[in-house]
Amino acid sequence: MSFNFLAPQITLGVPKFLGFAEDLLLHTFSYPAILVKYPYKKLYDAFYESAASALDLAEVGCVGGEELHRQLRNEIRTVVKESEGTVTFAALEKMTLTKSVVYEALRIEPPVPYQYGKAKEDIVIQSHDATFEIKKGEMIFGNQNFVGKDPKVFENPEEFVGHRFAGEGEKLLKYLYWSNGRQMDDHPTAENKQCPGKDVVVLMSRLMLVEFFLRYDTFTVDASTVLLGSSVTFKSLTKAS
């Protein structure tokens, strides 16, 4: 394990004219793992011991289960058959459950959970029950894990619900902020910080899901949490019948 996993976020608070030297020292070269092995181990143990409920959720909820797998493969294979065996953009748009499952996965575990930015002007931000005034130049921090699991917006927010964004559930897309902007209505521009690859991420995720269930009926996995993210290991794959 390299010290550089955390080094890009570390600063010694030196004056700006020494910033180059600090960057060269902290952010350029890999340091021997032995230097941080002990504190990393303490951090790892703390995460591991506190993650029991999250791991249980991953094992029984986030995988979806055989019933969701059955619904997905039926939808995917039916639509592809109607499209003469071809996966097209038009066919993908007809796969409402498949689309919803991708959105739900991004809600449960956003690929970039934290965002930072400085206010370009004085602004006022409102939550459900409070108002916050932010001055120009102040730093703003966003945690997508809280946003995507807001119990006032999403019913059973800690549970993976494959059909959450299907049908009437599409209205909830305006509350989905995994890309540092609304999934519905907002679009990446040079003037905002929304992920420029937002649409590509969703498209590729849907394609991967479609190709998977064209080849397999179901699967089982072991899901766990490691220091820097999640780990999923396939235990079994059942080929398409």
Q: What is the pLDDT of residues 28-84, one digit of tens each?
A: 666 677 877 787 788 777 766 765 554 454 444 447 788 999 999 999 999 999 999
Q: Are 204 and 86 in contact (CB under 8 A)?
A: no
| φ and ψ at residue 142, rounded to 5 degrees | -120, 135
Q: What pLDDT was estimated at residue 28?
A: 64
- 26 and 131 in a single domain? The answer is no
Residues 88 and 166 in one domain: yes
CATH of the domain at 217: 1.10.630.10
Q: How far apart are CA 160 and CA 16, in angstroms?
A: 46
* 130: DSSP letter: -
Task: Let me know whether 37 and 58 are in one domain.
Answer: no
Predicted pLDDT of residue 132: 93
Contact 48, 22 (CB under 8 A): no
Buried (b) or exposed (e) across 73-90, using 16+ Cβ within 10 A? bebbeebbeeeeeebeee
- What pLDDT score was predicted for residue 111? 85
Distance in angstroms (rounded) separating the CA atoms of residues 109 and 190? 26
Residue range(s) defining the domain that contains residue 21: 1-50
Residues 86 and 174 in one domain: yes
Residues 155 and 57 in one domain: yes
Note whether 98 and 217 are same-domain residues. Answer: yes
Q: 217 vs 80, 91, 197, CA distance in Å?
A: 15, 20, 30
Report the 10 Å Cβ neighbour count for 167.
11
Global model pTM greater than 0.85:
no
Helix (H, G, I), strand (E, B) or coil at 73: helix
Total of domains in the chain: 2
Residues 124 and 210 reside in one and the same domain? yes
Q: What is the pLDDT along the chain (241 residues), one digit of tens a residue?
A: 333 333 444 555 667 666 667 666 666 666 677 877 787 788 777 766 765 554 454 444 447 788 999 999 999 999 999 999 999 999 999 999 999 999 999 999 898 888 888 898 999 999 888 999 999 999 988 889 899 999 999 999 999 999 999 999 999 999 999 998 899 988 999 888 888 999 999 999 999 999 999 999 999 988 777 665 677 888 999 999 8
C-alpha closest to that of 106 among 50, 180, 217: 180
CB atoms within 10 A of CB 222: 13
* 39/110 same-domain check: no
Per the annotation, binding residues are: 195
Q: Which residues are annotated as a binding site for heme?
A: 195
CA distances from 33 to 8, 36, 82, 131, 228 (A): 16, 6, 55, 45, 15
β-strand partners of 141: 116
Shared domain for 30 and 116, answered yes or no, is no
Which residue has tokens 């797998």?
Answer: 69
Q: Are residues 126 and 193 in the same domain?
A: yes
